[in-house]
Chain A
Amino acid sequence: MSENPERRPHDEVAGGTIPAVVRDDASAAFFDATARGKLWLRCCLRCQTILTPSARSCTACHGDALGDCRVAGRATLISWVVVYDPPTPVLADCVPYVVGIVEVEGGPWMVARIVAFDATLHVGSDLEVRFVDSGSKKPGEAVPVFVVT
């Protein structure tokens, strides 16, 4: 996989706050990577299908031997919504915000905030990952968000 073209960690991106997320054992490597401005996904060691970070087995061949896989962070937009009614109290300070399903280059879909765009969004919009610190009062991990390129 190629280098992330935007290697600045913790880009300052407009588009609302993101509540603090803390790591657990399963996500530690993922958040180690986001702290360095890199997006790590998972990859099937048998058929090389690129999978979401939380994948437990391969969606293509059902294999359960997975490894880490760094991706460039280019993506296209599959769907998006503008959330006005906070789905859960921790998001009360975030509304309204835009969240989408993005298809990361290589195949897997991720749910992520879409930030800092002027253009009208449409299915297939070209996106690129950025990383922002979650949490305001108490800091959390750096999390991926996507900007329109």
Chain B
Amino acid sequence: MNRAGTIPGVLLLLLLLFVRGCSQTAARNDAAIAEDATVAPDLAPPPLRKLVQKPLFGQMPLDNRVSHPEFTIIDGLSWFPWCEKCHDLPVRMFLPSTPLGQPAARLPTLGQEEPFHLIGMVKGMDGPLEVSVWLGRKMVDSKTPDFSDTEAAFVGVFPEKGYGEVFLAEDGSTKPRVLDGIHWMRTAVWLKEPPVGWANLIVTDSLGHGLYVTSPIVIPMPTQPKYQQLRSRPQRVGSSRARALVAWRAVRRKPRGVPEPGRPFDPWYFPPGH
């Protein structure tokens, strides 16, 4: 995918030299961009490590409309985890490397087969946008894991149509990545007419087998990207997802113990004697 066609020649040459140097440097750096990747096991450590600049938000676009894209506060509002019968919770994971250099959420491996949903707030907008998220699973015996039991949906209220669901599909134009034993797959969808108000990105592990989620990104995108090998996924857990959304309302109406914003968070318990 050549997107650099408008850059003048000499500048392009210089930039390519930098990009080449950068991408070599970043081959094991979690700041490396997805397009550089190929499906391959982890590379061996370079003989000499190098200093690099680590952006505050990894490679996330700063105009990302996901409210808490780094899962910093999983408080039942910004991110609401839900499954009907289990009491397991997601864990915020800081992995050595992820496709865009951001933290991940790890959905739990359940003891029984049932859907586990992670619902995140996303602000809608007026124009076309792209919704994407990376899903990951551990490699076992160097085999590509199966993602057929996973779903990522973008749901909300669409003007004139009312409630609607749009499903993300594997983005064949971006090669999967294998980083530290996790196989990552980008899923995406482009919407010409997005929802109004707040919407939700809902990632579902429909059999509770465990799933990593990173870099949920919703950004303006005026024209539809040329996705390759898009595979739509059948809707498997619609009724469960609907119950999760209803549960969100019920939970919000219950008393909460979450500290109010502005109240200092006590950064640690300080044991007596110290």
Chains A and B come from one and the same complex = no
Binding site for B on A (CB under 8 A): none
Residues of chain B at the chain A interface (Cβ within 8 Å)? none
